[in-house]
Structures are given as C-alpha cells and as structure tokens.
Amino acid sequence: MLTYTLRRLLILIPMLLFLSFLIYLGLELTPGDAVSYMISPERYATMDPAELEAVREALGLDDPFLIRYAKWLGGVLKGDFGYSLQSGVPIRDIVFDRLPATLELSAGAIIISTIFGIFFGTISALKRGSIGDNALTLAGMLGVSVPRFIFGLLAILLFTFHLKWLPVGGRLRPGYEGFMDRLPHLIMPTLVLSATLVAGIMRYSRASMLDAMNRDFMKTARSKGLPEWRVNFVHGLRVSLIPVIVLIAFRLPILLGGTVIIEQVFQWPGIGSEFIGAVRSRNYPIVMMIAFFTTFAVLFVSFLIDLFTALLDPRVKLD
Amino acid sequence: MKDDVIISVKDLKTFFYTNNRCNKAVNGVSFDIKKGKTLCVVGESGCGKSVTASSIMQLLPKLSRIENGKITYHSNEGDIRIDQLKKNGAEMRAIRGSDISMIFQDPMTALNPVYSIGFQISENIQYHTRLKKSERKDQSIKLLKEMGIPLPEQRINEYPHQYSGGMRQRAMIAMAMACNPKVLIADEPTTALDVTIQAQIFELMDELKEKHDTAIMLITHDMGVVTELADDVVVMYMGNIVENGTVDDVLRKPSHPYTKALLESIPVLGRGKNQVIEPIKGSTPDPYNRPKGCQFAPRCPYADSSCLVMPDESSINNTHSVRCWHPMEAV
C-alpha cells in the first residue's frame, strides 16, 4: 500500500514535466505574443523594431524557446510562478484571488449533482418503465445534450428578466461581503452547472443500478428473506455505486478548469474567466500556471480514484 | 393430508409473459416434498424445473406469475398457502431463508462481491432471529466450520473472490442452513463446479439432511446424483411432470417413454466404450408453438393418434404415477 502510493506519486513527476512541456510548446506555436496584444495595431505598425525588441527583452520574451521553458520551470520549482505580463501582478496572488470563487461554484455543483444524480438515477432504475422514469430519461437526455451556455442564457432570461428573482451575474455587490450576500449570485451559476452534471450522473447511475438489479446476488438476498429496501439499497445500490463514484471523481479536476463557459456567462470572477482572458492576450505565465494546476489535479485525482475504488471494491488490489 | 409431507404442490401453473406471448413454463404440476427426504427433479434444460423452485420461494422474475394451483407449506404452526402470500410481504419473507431456503447454480455470481462472507451469512440470521451481533458472528463461524471450511475465524472476514468455487458453494450452503430450514431447495448446485468438488458438495448436503432432518428439493440433470441421493424422483418435460415416484420406481421401472429414453441416453461408467448410448431423437419443441396433447409425442417411438390428447396422471402403484397413454411394462 505504501510502496504503491510512493510509486504513484513519483510517476507524477515525469508526467507533469512532459505535459507542461507540451503545453508550453503549444503556446509557443500559437501565432502572436503578449507584446503584439498589449500594443494597439496602429502603433504596432509604426513602431521602431528596436523599440519592440526592447519591450520583448524587458518581458523576457527574446530568449530561445527552450531557455524560456527552463527558466519558467526553474521558477516553478522554487515556488515562483512568475508575474502577469499585462499587470505585473504576481500570479500566485491572482490564483489565490480567483480560486475561491471557482471552488465555491464547482464544490456546490459537485455536491448537488452527486446527491440528485444518484438519487434520481436509482429511483429511475427501481421504477423502470414508469411515467416518472420516462420523464427523468427525457430530462436527462436534454440535460446531457443541450450546451451549458444555453441553459445559462435561458436561466438569466427567466430568473432575472422575467421573474426578477436573481441578479444577472457577478459574485458580489460593492459594500457587501458576507456569504449570505453572495448567495443570490451563487444560485444560478451553480444550478446551471449542476444541471448538466446531474443529467450525466443520473443516466449513468440508472444504468449501473439496472445492471446491479439483474445480478444473481439480488435473488440470493431475496431468498434470505430480506425486505425489499435492504435488497435494493444495501445490496443493489452499494454495488452500483462503484462505477458511479469513479465517474464523479473524474469530474473533479474538470470542474477546476471546466467552469470556463459558465464563468463567462455569469461574469463569475473565477479561474475560468481569468484563463480565457489570459489565452486571448497570450499572457503565457498565467495560461501555463492554470493549465499546470489543472493537469496536476487530473493526475492527482486519478490516483485518488484508484485508492478509493480499492476501498469501495474488495476485489481491487493495489499492488 | 399425510403428515410426512412438508410442502405439497397441487396443479401449479406458472406462466411467463413476454412480447405479448405467453410461455406456459410450468403447466400444471403436482408433487409432494416429504419431511427429511430428498426429492430430485430431473429433466432437460427449459422444462420448468427452476421455475417450479422459484414458484415455491415466490422468487419469480417480473414477467412471470403463478397463474393457478396451490403451494401448501405444512409448518409446525399449521398449513400456509404460499401461493396466496404477498410476494415480498412480511409473511413470505419470514418463511424465506428461515423455513425454506435456496442455493443456486453459480456460487460466484450468487454471492455479493462487495460484502464479506461473514456479513452475508450473518444477514440471514439477523432477519430471522433476535441474536446480537457478536452471537451472530459466533453462529456464522460455527456454520462455516460445519460446512468444512478450514480456519473459519479468519475466512469469515474474507470476500467471495478469495474463496475457491467449492468453498463458495459451501459458504452459500452455510448461508442457506443458517436458520435450520425445514426445506432446502438446491437449483443445480454443482453445475459450475469440478466433478470432484461436486461429489463433496452432495456428500455435505446428504450429511446435513441426516443431521438436521432437512428436506431437500434437488434440481439436477445428473442421473448419477439421483441414484445416490434421491428418495423420490420427479421427471419433468415441457412444464409437465411425466413421471413421479420413489427412486426405485422411476430408475428401475421407468414407465414413461421419456424417462426410459433419458436413462438410455446416459453412458455408464464401467460398461466399456462399446456400450450403446441412445440419444433422444429430435429436439424440445418451441415453448410458443407446442404440440397438441402429450408434449413428448412428436419424439416418442410409441406415439399414436391417442397421444393427440393430453393423458391424465395414472397410478401404477401407490407411490408411482405416470402421465402417458402407453406406460411401459416393467422390464
């Protein structure tokens, strides 16, 4: 168990190195650089090339690609994530400033979608073929196939413009600081983000539960004289949860970086909207850092999933 | 009612409804399971053996139901009409696993992979007794020991995948025997096991029968097992019982052409490689497109026009009955 954990954590290092290099390379191959974004096209056209070079040199953009990557990597290893090319603010500050907003949003969505997804999926499987099951199946199909931003826009149309219940976006109003003040802002983005996730988890847990219900051990459980709730929930649900939990866990890192669109729709000041801005302005230190963190989260979560499945399923051996 | 009978089944009909078609899987069978005796139910695949067993336990799949007939359990507290109990009602559940229990074909899939063997045995005791948790554990260890599982104190915490096939079936039997049932229904309990393990499992079942006076309803298509274990034999074909009697009646003096054909189709160890094995001609009819009258008639060498009408059960002696227009003479 311990050797397994150590081995898995050690493997993370070369994988992170390789992936960060790939991302850096991708950015390098993208046309344009931060300087071309910072200076207006009119001035850019008339500027002295020597002057442009000076700006590039000041930002450290004139070094060859590999040297820049090495410098960046050296900084990261020392805990120095660099500075935003536009504002000069340390990236550490930007991340710590933005991350809580994203975590607030995605944690809410994960919790809501896990509870409702598994609940509706299991009920749907138990009442297979009923009106409720068909309605949930239809809703699930819609939830999976309609893009999130459409849900977002529809929600704004309904709750902000027609019903006037909720604010259109943002996270805070000036002068208000407490969580209760933030809550009205949080509701819509969280629910819209959850909607798609609930749909996916529901479809999956329904299928998994149906599969479990057809297994022989359910008949054995009944043959012991157990009541139906125990047969379904202690025996059926417990077995059906294993793949569902894995699916949910794989969504965790996606939510760190994957709330991009929702954050855009609701002007949510999270990592996602920062990421979009940074990509547009070729602000590569920020793009690198966010991509690097997301990569790390994905790799780390997949390791956690392995530990967790071993815990859930006695048949899984980690060695 | 004779008081040596523990379960009597009378004219049981269990039908399956799929795609608006009706499969008369069990079409009017009557038999008795006697106290402390072994009843073997034999027949080809799909003849309704398992459905009959599931009907007694009320464990039928969703698309099927008991259409007609009586299943009476003669308990110590009086007769209980199982077919009239609610499928998953409290009364039926009190009988299942306690008075009548069941073991299945494949012990790997019949055990829940995510719970320890101890948990699964103890669960049965929990729902039928008032024992405390620690007492249930002791009881489970005792059961595993009785089933011949070595180191039961350790193995009780292990999971099904850590057991071998034979051990799993032993654990399954421990689970079924947990509350000292009056009747143990075994649905082809050794089909998924090696031949040597099969013998051990049957030996164990026979031992338990003697020790606890448990009646056994054994579904099998192994005629060797029937000779070894059975007190009574029921031969089924296409949802009907074609012959019913003691093991001597049926195996020594088979009256129904189907029983005779079944016995002739089995190679006998020691008779050498030149023995004549006579397969039954043709194949079982489509259950949705049944022949008229006697179901075996199209494959029967003795069939004539009278076989277009279903024969009634006729007695040969007071233990032996047959459903045939031309019962065979004793050879």
Q: Are B244 and B321 in contact (CB under 8 A)?
A: yes
Where is B170: in which H helix or E strand? helix B165-177
Mutate which of B112, B126, B140 to test chain A, going by most A C-beta atoms within 10 A?
Answer: B112
Tell me what pLDDT residue B2 has: 61
Q: Are residues A102 and A235 in the same domain?
A: yes
Question: How many other CB atoms are there within 10 angstroms of residue B19's CB atom?
Answer: 7
Q: Are B172 and B104 in contact (CB under 8 A)?
A: yes
Tell me what pLDDT residue B33 has: 94
Q: Which of B96, B128, B161 sits opposite A223 (nearest CB)?
A: B96
Q: What is the mean pLDDT of residues B43-56?
A: 90
Q: Are B84 and B90 in contact (CB under 8 A)?
A: no
Mutate which of A210, A215, A222, A223 to test chain B, going by most B C-beta atoms within 10 A?
Answer: A223
Q: Are residues A104 and A59 in the same domain?
A: no
- B285 token code pair: 């009819």
Question: Which of the listed residues A26, A43, A77 is the one where a domain comes to its end?
Answer: A77
DSSP letters for B86-141: -TTSHHHHHHBTTTEEEE-S-HHHHS-TTS-HHHHHHHHHHHHS---HHHHHHHHH
Tokens 């022989």, residue located: A216
Q: Has residue A158 got a pLDDT over 80?
A: yes
Q: Are residues A59 and A181 in the same domain?
A: no
Total number of domains constituting chain A: 2
Q: Are residues A106 and A36 in the same domain?
A: no
- B104 token code pair: 């299945």
Q: Are residues A248 and A137 in the same domain?
A: yes
Q: Tell me the nearest-neighbour CA distance from A200 into chain B, angstroms.
A: 25
Residue A286 lies in a domain: no
Q: Has residue A258 got a pLDDT over 70?
A: no
Q: What is the mean pLDDT of residues A286-306?
A: 85
Residues in chain B within 8 Å Cβ distance of A221: 112, 123
Question: How many other CB atoms are there within 10 angstroms of residue A67's CB atom?
Answer: 11
Are B123 and A315 in contact (CB < 8 Å)?
no
- Per the structure, the complete domain to which residue A265 belongs is given by 97-280
Residue type, A231: V
Q: Are residues A34 and A64 in the same domain?
A: yes
Specify the pTM.
0.83
Q: What is the mean pLDDT of residues A92-100?
A: 83
Q: What is the mean pLDDT of residues B155-183?
A: 93
**Which tens digit of pLDDT belongs to each residue from B3-40?**
789 999 999 999 999 888 888 899 999 999 999 999 99
CATH number, domain of A191, equals: 1.10.3720.10
Where is B195: in which H helix or E strand? helix B195-212
Q: Are residues A129 and A29 in the same domain?
A: no
Helices (H), chain A: 2-29, 34-38, 41-46, 49-59, 65-77, 91-126, 131-145, 148-155, 179-213, 216-223, 228-229, 238-258, 260-265, 271-280, 284-312
DSSP state of B191: T
* All residues at 6 or more sequence positions from A224 whose CB lies less than 8 Å from its CB, including other chains: B96, B97, B101, B123, B124, B127, B175
* Beta-sheet strands, E only, within chain B: 5-18, 21-34, 38-42, 64-75, 78-81, 100-103, 183-187, 215-220, 232-237, 240-246, 314-315, 321-322
Q: Which of A217, A222, A313 sits opposite B59 (nearest CB)?
A: A222
Q: What is the mean pLDDT of residues A212-228?
A: 93
> Which residues does residue B8 pair with via DSSP β-bridges, in sequence order?
B32, B72
A16: exposed, middle or buried (Cβ count in 10 Å: 0-12, 13-18, 19+): middle
Tell me what pLDDT residue B331 has: 44
**Which tens digit of pLDDT belongs to each residue from B181-209?**
999 999 999 888 888 888 899 999 999 99
C-alpha dihedral (A287, A289, A295, A296), degrees to nearest 10: -170
Q: Which of A79-93, A111-125, A142-156 has the lowest mean pLDDT?
A: A79-93
Q: Are residues A163 and A256 in the same domain?
A: yes
Residue A133 lies in a domain: yes
**Which tens digit of pLDDT belongs to each residue from B86-141?**
988 999 999 999 999 999 988 889 999 999 999 999 999 999 999 999 999 999 99
Q: Are A259 and A148 in contact (CB under 8 A)?
A: no
Q: Are residues A191 and A70 in the same domain?
A: no
Phi, psi of B247 (to 5 degrees): -60, -35
Tell me what pLDDT residue A174 has: 67
Q: Are residues A135 and A262 in the same domain?
A: yes
Mean pLDDT of chain A: 85
Residues in chain B within 8 Å Cβ distance of A216: 104, 106, 109-110
Q: Are residues A39 and A135 in the same domain?
A: no
Q: Are residues A103 and A178 in the same domain?
A: yes
Q: Which residues of B71-92 are buried (b: 16+ CB within 10 A; e: fewer)?
A: bbbbeeeeebebbebeebeeeb
Residue A306 lies in a domain: no
Are B113 and A314 in contact (CB < 8 Å)?
yes
Q: Please give the ipTM for the structure prediction.
A: 0.88
C-alpha dihedral (B252, B256, B262, B266), degrees to nearest 10: 20
